[in-house]
Structure 1
C-alpha cells in the first residue's frame, strides 16, 4: 500500500507541474485536487459555492476548469485561509468567507486535527484509526451560520455547483444551505460509510436528504478503502432531476 501511495503521489506531482496555475499552487503550498478535474470539466458552471475550502485545493481546480465562474469559498480556520488568500490574490471572481456553514448563526468549537484538513466541528471518532496522523490536536472557536447569511440567491447564477467537504458535518451544512439548495444544479459532497466523527450522518442519510430535496445520485468518485477492503468514504455527485443527465 505504501508503494501504491508513493506512485499515486508521484503521478499527481507530475501532472501538477505541467500546468502553470497548479505550479503556482505548489509554490504556495497548495496541491490542486486534480482527482476532481474530469468531473468538473464535464459540467458547465457559472457559480461555485465551495464549503470546506481549506487552502483552496478544490477552488484551484475549479478555476482552471471554469475560468469565468464566480467562486464563493468558506473556510473557518485561520491558517488555511491565509494560504487561500495568497493563492487567489488579485482574482476578483473569488470570494473567501472565514466562517463555517451550519443551520444557525453562532460560535462553535472546532476540533483541530494534526492534519488541518481533517479538522471537524464534530468530535473525532475512528478517524485516526483509518487515517493515522489525524489525531485531535486542540480546539478553537469559529463562526458558523446559514449560507444565506453571506450569499444571496441573486448572486448564484445558474448553472451552479455546490461542493461540500466538511469532515462529518455534511448533514448540518446541507441544512444550513436551505433554502438556497434550490439554486443549485449540482451538489458534490464527501460522505462516509463509517462513523469517522462522532454523531456524523453517514452516506445513506446524506443521499436520502438530497433525494428528498430534488436531487438524484449521478456518480460516486474517489472511493477510499481501509486495509481490510472496507469502503470508508467517497465523493458523491448529485444533479437535479432535470440536470443529472446533462
Structure 2
C-alpha cells in the first residue's frame, strides 16, 4: 500500500482519537499500522527503535502500548527533525540522531529518493526495480555508534523489544547491539530473501546469528512478494529463549 493509502486507512481507523497519529497525519507521516497488532499482543514496556525514520514505528508503539518508553535512533537529519516535531511533548520518547553499527565513528549513508529506503550499504538496481522510486539520489556522512555507547542496562526496562529497520544493515546493526542483547525479550527486524543492498546479510544469516544468541524465530509478518510470487522480504519476530 502506498503512503497515501496508508494515511487514508489510518485516518479512517483513528480519526481524532489518537493525538500523536492525528498530528502525524497532518504532517504526511503514515503510522506503522501493520505493526499495531503485534505490539498490542506483546505489550513491551520499552522499545528501542533503530531506523526510526519519521517515527512510523514509534507512532505504532505509542498507540498500541501507551505505557511503553521508546528510545529511537535515526541518523538522517530531515526525518530526524520530523520525528522530533511529532514527539516534542512526549516525555516517554527520546531520539538519538545516530545509526547503530559495529564500530563508533563516521560512515557514508546512501540516500534513497524515499529516505526510509536509505542504507549504509549501496542500493542495488534490484531494490529500485522491485520498489520503484527508491534509487540512490546521493550520499551523506552520518555518525555511527554501538548501542552500548548510547545506552546501558539501567536505561532499559523489561520486557523490552529491539526493533530494526535498517535496509540491509540488519546483521551489522545487531552486532552493534550484542553487548545489550540479553536485556531484550524480543527482536523484531526486517530481513530480505534477495540482495536489495550490496553485501547485505540475508534472512537465513540473521536467523542463524540470533539463534546462536538464544533468540528463536516466533513470527513472520508483512511478507512482500514480487510479481511472480517470489518472497522478497518480511518482518521477523524473535523471542529470547529462557536459560536452561
TM-score by length of 2: 0.94
Counterpart residue number, 1:72: 71
Counterpart residue number, 2:12: 14
Counterpart residue number, 2:97: 98
Alpha carbons 2:18, 2:63 under 8 Å: kept: no
1:190 aligns with 2:225: no
Measure, in 1, the Cα distance between the counterparts of 2:238 and 2:157. 18
> Greater shift after overlay, 20-29 or 88-97?
20-29
Alpha carbons 2:10, 2:31 under 8 Å: kept: no
Residue deviations 1:185-241, cap 9 Å, x none? Answer: 000000000000000000000100111111110000000011111100000000012
Alpha carbons 1:77, 1:98 under 8 Å: kept: yes
Question: In the TM superposition, what is the alpha-carbon distance from 1:70 to its structure 2 partner?
Answer: 1.4
Alpha carbons 2:102, 2:172 under 8 Å: kept: yes
Counterpart residue number, 1:225: 225
Alpha carbons 2:102, 2:145 under 8 Å: kept: yes
- Secondary structure in 2 aligned to 1:179? helix
Measure, in 1, the Cα distance between the counterparts of 2:121 and 2:113. 15
Number of matched residues? Answer: 240
- Secondary structure in 2 aligned to 1:166? coil
Counterpart residue number, 1:57: 56
Question: In the TM superposition, what is the alpha-carbon distance from 1:11 to its structure 2 partner?
Answer: 3.6
Counterpart residue number, 1:168: 168
Counterpart residue number, 1:30: 29
Measure, in 2, the Cα distance between the counterparts of 1:239 and 1:18. 34
TM-score by length of 1: 0.93
Alpha carbons 2:43, 2:65 under 8 Å: kept: yes
Alpha carbons 1:52, 1:73 under 8 Å: kept: yes
Measure, in 2, the Cα distance between the counterparts of 1:134 and 1:146. 27
- Secondary structure in 1 aligned to 2:176? helix
Give the gaps of 5 or more residues in structure 1: none
Question: In the TM superposition, what is the alpha-carbon distance from 1:97 to its structure 2 partner?
Answer: 0.4
Counterpart residue number, 1:216: 216
Measure, in 2, the Cα distance between the counterparts of 1:31 and 1:85. 15
- Secondary structure in 1 aligned to 2:134? coil
> Greater shift after overlay, 42-51 or 17-26?
17-26
- TM-align CA RMSD: 1.7
Measure, in 2, the Cα distance between the counterparts of 1:177 and 1:42. 24
Give the gaps of 5 or more residues in structure 2: none
Question: In the TM superposition, what is the alpha-carbon distance from 1:25 to its structure 2 partner?
Answer: 1.2
